[in-house]
Amino acid sequence: MDINNSLVSRFYSQIILEDFSLQDQEELLKKEITIIGCGGLGSPVSVYLAASGIGKINLVDPDKVEIRNLHRQVFFQEKDVGRHKVDVLQDHIEKLNSHCKITVFKQKSWEINFDKYKSEMMLDCSDNFRTKYSLNEACTNNNISFCSASVSGSDGQIALFTNKSDYHSCYNCFFPEDGDIDANDCAESGVLGPTVSLVASIQSLITLKYLLNKFNDTESIFRVSSKDLTIKKNKILPNTSCRLNKL
């Protein structure tokens, strides 16, 4: 099979875009990313990125599908209740794009030694601060790019940190660890399904652009309001007192 012809046939609508190319599509096929949290954010993010042509995706989530998930986690069905979310997503993605290699981890993120496998980028789609802080520390220590997203009520936010060895700006710089790190925003404040989908779509776009070296707004936070239909961007400056800052 001619790989180029296969890519053109499948991804024609992407390749003909002015700011996209066949070479970009070939690059995506070489990329490996890890998605932590496969619920309202992680499920659409994983499906969008697999459909876009990412070559390998690691899915991390110990949870099983519950009936209360279905109003916003639209890649799960009633028949999936009781199954592990990562298994359902793996089945769906492999049917969607058989060229995307999926590896699943049914563990808490802090139970995984990220030193043993380093994907090019970590996507935080979790719903609790304990996971976010542990991922941020692992990515900072290992110089892995880290894209974190969250949703609460009608608001969402997305931030991408490059974690380069000669520059420090991380999640902990902007959100210092304090309060209840086991808090769950969705469970406590509620959320509408389309709000989650909106934030997931933006996180997916940022990821694709960054992987192709076409995203310049790193170390920035995008604040999304589904109530006002607005997106605001702010730069995140290094915090010299951040405990992870080794410079």
State yes or no: is 186 an active-site residue.
yes
Query: Tokens in use for 34?
Result: 């890890």
Q: Position 80: which residue type?
A: D
Residue 238 phi/psi, 5-degree rounding, is: -60, 145
For 62-129, give the DSSP string.
Answer: --B--GGGTTT-TT--GGGTTSBHHHHHHHHHHHH-TTSEEEEE-S-GGGS-TTS---SEEEE--SBH
The three state secondary structure string of 104-123 is EECCCHHHCCCCCCCCCEEE
Active-site annotation holder among 38, 139, 173, 186: 186
Q: Position 36: which residue type?
A: I
Closest of 115, 117, 120 to residue 162, by C-alpha:
120
Q: Which residue has the tokens 């490059």?
A: 162
For 155-167, give the DSSP string.
Answer: EEEEEEE---TT-
Query: Tokens in use for 2?
Result: 């001619």
Positions marked catalytic = 186
